Amino acid sequence: MTRIVSYNILAGGYSLRENGAKRTEQLLKIIRAGRPDIVGLPEAINPHKFAGPTVVEEMAEALGMQLIKGGETGSSRDYQTALMTSLPVISVKNHARPGVLARPY
C-alpha cells in the first residue's frame, strides 16, 4: 500500500515568531510518524531567500526522498509547492492555471 501525506508546513518551514528559524526537526518528527511514500507540501518553499539549503531540501535528504519543486508562482509573495517521494519518478509536469489557482500544481 502507498501512503500519501499532504501537510502544510507553514511559511516554508521557517518560524514566523523566531526570526525565521528553521523548524526542520519538528516537521521531520511529524512526517516520519505517518511513514509516507509521498508527501505533498502546499507551502513548501518560502519566497524570501535564506542562506543555505531550504527546509524542504533538508527534509528530503533526511527522509531519503526525491524533492520535486512545483512551478514558479509568478509572485514574490507566494509560496511554491513541492512533493517529496521515495518512489521512482518517471516524469514531472507543472500545470499553471492563472486566474483559477494561485499556484501551479
Residue 40 confidence (pLDDT) above 90: yes
Q: How far is CA 100 from the centre of its chain?
A: 21
Question: In this predicted structure, which of 10-14, 35-39, 49-53 has the lowest mean pLDDT?
Answer: 49-53
**27 and 55 Cβ atoms separated by less than 8 Å:** yes
pLDDT tens-digit series, residues 64-100: 999 998 877 666 567 888 999 999 999 988 776 666 5
The domain segmentation of the chain, as residue ranges, is: 4-85
Ranges of H-type helices in 12-103: 24-33, 55-63
Ranges of H-type helices in 1-105: 24-33, 55-63
Q: Please give the grid coordinates belonging to residue 59.
A: 527534509
Question: Which pTM was predicted?
Answer: 0.84
**Close Cβ partners of 49 (under 8 Å, ≥ 6 residues apart):** none
